[in-house]
Structure 1
């Protein structure tokens, strides 16, 4: 088995230096470009890496970093721009319908990602370096529920006079019900500042009927390569399991409206129906009420969540699992 070595690469751009500390020698140039984008917001296709060579030519995206003979703290010189249209291209248009999730039939790929030594090494780095700030204490004997925010608990694109108008119906009832059996973690692919503000705005941070264990932001995610989609960021539950030994795939479930976020833990993820157009759907959306029942049932009747197929959660029969 190939030894995986951590790497630090420094990007010099626009008169500044940006250390990239989330790389291994088994990552490719494509992954390097993705990490540069995360640091600088210069999109990969706009990056010109001046001194990144392979056999005397500019290194192609599929070349592994271990083949480039890069010394420790190697400095990559980059030319690129972050024009306003880049931000627009990264945002969902206002009139978009439901996102088509083309990862739905990717079980074999998910399994290969889940067991990849390169990505498991990145998870271990998160366990080592990511600092979790607890908001409450973990409770003995409780299972774990990990929740996304955007389009899972909150419609963050629709216009409204108050943020609470964009809150998914029955949110507080759902969280209060889940809290009986689960410790609750919020994990969003955004900044911690954004998470804290939205949880305050929605009244989640101060509700007396439940408590949140902690928040995780985009820095807790890792990058993985998918052949037909390139490099994407995902949410590996191993970051939590490595720090809290009482939780594992046996007692953890994660809700997200994007299935690719489950790629490191495909059996633990439940793809929730996205909550969009809050002004039209706030009277009819009952997804959280239905999921409350499911969470309660599996907490009572299922000793090992690995036995569950969350894609069929609406047809769960507790009699078959009791």
Structure 2
């Protein structure tokens, strides 16, 4: 019995229908020629729940090429109806899974021309449109009219996922609940992590984020909501806010959305809406002095009165907060 993953494809793009054998079953996966091997693994994950990093794809004629996530499927000369084998395990111990995961700390610099090229390139717009069709956001709580939107990363933004502790609360970024409670007055909150939904739900549940009486989380997004983009020299995944805007156009758009992430490349499709947060690492050493969320609370509340957040340069958020503090002191 085969499981099918249906994908809407832009007119004019070559669609590939591949069959993946795994654990005694065959799964039909539809991708496009301009997708990468990494995107193929994401689609396989959607069908099988085997995380991309746990997948080994086997097809005799391609050999080790299927191990390179950056290769485009068009470079492999894949034919529709091709059958390949996947080796991989669905793991239950998500915490072990995260600790074992390779750490990616290289937030490479992209030039301004590269950023403009990425967000304006038609192939990336097509990928975003396909993702809108493929990935449906499930609301935990209704969107609120008149509120702005805050999109938050997890790893190194809200939580130190590389350190170990007997209690996960020891790895939570200081002032997290105070931060979320304060900004909830003006912002709907969406959590978006480049990990599996199972891990997102587990970690947010352990930290008490999903059932806090002082604020509500609008939705959770995982790695399947991301898209793969490329420059002349790099291929990487990012988090396109257009996915959210397309599904909730009556509530959110580029003018009322801000995203926090410790990796700048994650908001390359919408650079005017991204704020690079200082990563929270080595929790045991830094939790006594880290006040990033306290300062960001002040910034978010200060800009909440503005009609268009996309006109701000979020890289200067600290000076904006300081200027507003000075103005308040002068008028007090």
TM-score by length of 2: 0.77
Instruction: Indicate if the aligned counterparts of 1:12 and 1:75 stay in contact, CA closer than 8 A.
Output: no
Alignment partner of 1:166 is 2:175: no
Instruction: Indicate if the aligned counterparts of 2:57 and 2:84 stay in contact, CA closer than 8 A.
Output: no
| C-alpha distance 30-222 of structure 1, shift in aligned 2 (>3 A) | closer
| C-alpha distance 157-6 of structure 1, shift in aligned 2 (>3 A) | same
| C-alpha distance 129-78 of structure 1, shift in aligned 2 (>3 A) | closer
1:135 is matched with which residue? Answer: 140
Q: 1:91 aligns with which of 89, 102, 107?
A: 102
2:242 is matched with which residue? Answer: 238
Q: Within 2, Cα distance between the matches of 1:164 and 1:214? A: 22
| C-alpha distance 213-62 of structure 1, shift in aligned 2 (>3 A) | closer
Secondary structure of 2:302's match?
A: helix
Please identify, of 302-311 and 26-35, the stretch whose mean Cα deviation from structure 2 is larger: 26-35
RMSD of aligned C-alpha atoms? 3.5
Q: 1:119 aligns with which of 101, 124, 129?
A: 124
Q: Within 1, Cα distance between the matches of 2:23 and 2:72? A: 26
Alignment of 1:277-296 (within 5 A): 277-296=282-301
Name structure 1 gaps, 5 residues minimum: 93-97
Secondary structure of 1:139's match?
A: coil
Q: Within 2, Cα distance between the matches of 1:121 and 1:215? A: 23
1:211 is matched with which residue? Answer: 216
Instruction: Indicate if the aligned counterparts of 1:4 and 1:118 stay in contact, CA closer than 8 A.
Output: no
Q: Within 2, Cα distance between the matches of 1:125 and 1:228? A: 24
TM-score by length of 1: 0.80
Alignment partner of 1:224 is 2:229: yes
Alignment partner of 1:145 is 2:145: no
| C-alpha distance 200-191 of structure 1, shift in aligned 2 (>3 A) | same
Q: How many residue pairs end up in the alignment?
A: 300
Secondary structure of 2:84's match?
A: strand
Instruction: Indicate if the aligned counterparts of 2:62 and 2:76 stay in contact, CA closer than 8 A.
Output: no
Cα distance, 1:109 vs structure 2: 1.6
| C-alpha distance 229-13 of structure 1, shift in aligned 2 (>3 A) | farther
Cα distance, 1:210 vs structure 2: 0.7
| C-alpha distance 80-228 of structure 1, shift in aligned 2 (>3 A) | farther
1:152-180: CA deviation from partner (whole Å, max 9, x where unpaired): 00111212121111110010111011111
Q: Within 2, Cα distance between the matches of 1:15 and 1:36? A: 15
| C-alpha distance 134-259 of structure 1, shift in aligned 2 (>3 A) | same
1:38-57: CA deviation from partner (whole Å, max 9, x where unpaired): 9766779975543569xxxx
1:200-259: CA deviation from partner (whole Å, max 9, x where unpaired): 1111111111111010111111122344343x2211111100111121111100001111
Q: Within 2, Cα distance between the matches of 1:31 and 1:215? A: 20
Q: Within 2, Cα distance between the matches of 1:176 and 1:41? A: 33
1:101 is matched with which residue? Answer: 107
Alignment partner of 1:70 is 2:79: yes
1:24 is matched with which residue? Answer: 32
Instruction: Indicate if the aligned counterparts of 2:195 and 2:223 stay in contact, CA closer than 8 A.
Output: yes
Q: Within 1, Cα distance between the matches of 2:55 and 2:145? A: 48
Name structure 2 gaps, 5 residues minimum: 1-9, 90-96, 326-332
Secondary structure of 2:189's match?
A: strand
